[in-house]
């Protein structure tokens, strides 16, 4: 069990923790999105301007999250290939079952892919640094 703890990729402090739990990449405590429910279609894409815990500017710069579209594109492509391989097993190259299955799965997973793509994108640029937490370190206050 101790070995498992050492290699646990979901341990706090890892990028995967921030991406899977949709937490701020710097403190890994503040939420990246205003709602926890990805299927709240009015709110699923809303992010706070700053991390409520460490104050990290989550907007970064205008157009920052355009890069997340590339992550989303790669993720969606992988999903399409997997769904096609599953449908191919039962229907072969029949176009209708393939298209129906792919569109259904993409629509159902869209909010999750969207949010996790943004989390992956911001994690490429921000590293875990709990010392910047404004609530337990007054040195970082301006």
Residues that bind Zn ion (CB under 5 A): 24, 26-27, 30, 51, 53-54, 56
Q: How far is the CB of 133 from Zn ion (least distance, A)?
A: 7
Q: Are 30 and 52 in contact (CB under 8 A)?
A: yes
Cross-strand pairs, 31: 23
Q: Which is nearer to Zn ion, 28 or 98 (CB)?
A: 28
| All residues at 6 or more sequence positions from 70 whose CB lies less than 8 Å from its CB, including other chains | none
Q: How far is the CB of 26 from Zn ion (least distance, A)?
A: 5
Q: How far is the CB of 54 from Zn ion (least distance, A)?
A: 3
Joined together, the tokens standing for residue 52 give 């409520």
- How far is Cα 13 from Cα 24, in angstroms, rounded to an integer? 11
Q: Which is nearer to Zn ion, 104 or 136 (CB)?
A: 136
């Amino acid at each position: 069990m101790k070995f498992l703890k050492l290699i646990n990729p979901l341990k706090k402090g890892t990028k995967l923790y921030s991406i899977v739990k949709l937490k701020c990449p710097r403190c890994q405590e503040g939420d990246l999105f205003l709602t926890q429910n990805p299927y709240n279609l009015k709110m699923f894409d809303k992010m706070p301007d700053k991390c409520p815990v460490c104050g990290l500017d989550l907007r970064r710069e205008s157009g920052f999250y355009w890069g997340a579209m590339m992550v989303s594109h790669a993720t969606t492509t992988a999903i399409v290939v997997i769904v096609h391989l599953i449908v191919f097993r039962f229907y072969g190259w029949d176009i209708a079952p393939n298209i129906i299955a792919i569109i259904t799965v993409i629509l159902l997973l869209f909010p999750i892919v969207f949010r996790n793509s943004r989390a992956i994108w911001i994690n490429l640029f921000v590293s875990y640094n709990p010392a910047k937490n404004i609530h337990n370190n007054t040195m970082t206050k301006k």
